[in-house]
Amino acid sequence: MAKHDKVTRGQFRVHDDGVKECADCYKPPAVKMFVDDADRVRGITRTSFCADKPVGFSIGLMTYSSVRKQDVDVIRACSSHANYHVHHWHHLRVSETKVVEKYPLDSPDDVMRAYGSATANIYPRYEEWITEWSRKV
Ligand SMILES: [Zn+2]
Ligand SMILES: [Zn+2]
């Protein structure tokens, strides 16, 4: 499981009354695609919406590990616990190596800003993340 215990929880709640899901909440299936020409790096985006606005997301990359013989996590930006943060993994370790906290999410605007930031930084920079994941130690 991901380490979320260290992140600072923001004030943002999808619904003010504490309801988990309302009639306008919508969680489409994860969107999966290869982000590289060699079809080695898989991008997976999960977004939850309420009234057509993104209220939660997880945007990550996976790739095949020849050591573990399966697709494994490389990096994932997520909005759990009302906090925008990024999980990082290394090819020799099963559990994540670090969680980089960006900022707590206090408002719908913060969520939009974080969503934009994750979109601009995870898939487009996949070469950087793969290099980090596969570096020698
Ligand atoms: Zn809702
Ligand atoms: Zn997370």
Express each pLDDT in 74-87 by its tens digit: 999 999 999 999 99
pTM, full prediction: 0.92
Relative to beta strand 70-78, strand 53-65 is antiparallel
Alpha carbon of 2 to ligand 1 centroid (Å): 25
- Nearest ligand to the CA of 51 is 1
Alpha carbon of 48 to ligand 2 centroid (Å): 14
Alpha carbon of 132 to ligand 1 centroid (Å): 37
Tokens, residue 30: 């994860």
The secondary structure of the chain in percent helix, strand, coil, rounded to multiples of 5, reads: 20, 35, 45
Alpha carbon of 19 to ligand 1 centroid (Å): 8
Give the amino acid at 2: A
Express each pLDDT in 94-118 by its tens digit: 999 999 999 999 999 999 999 999 9
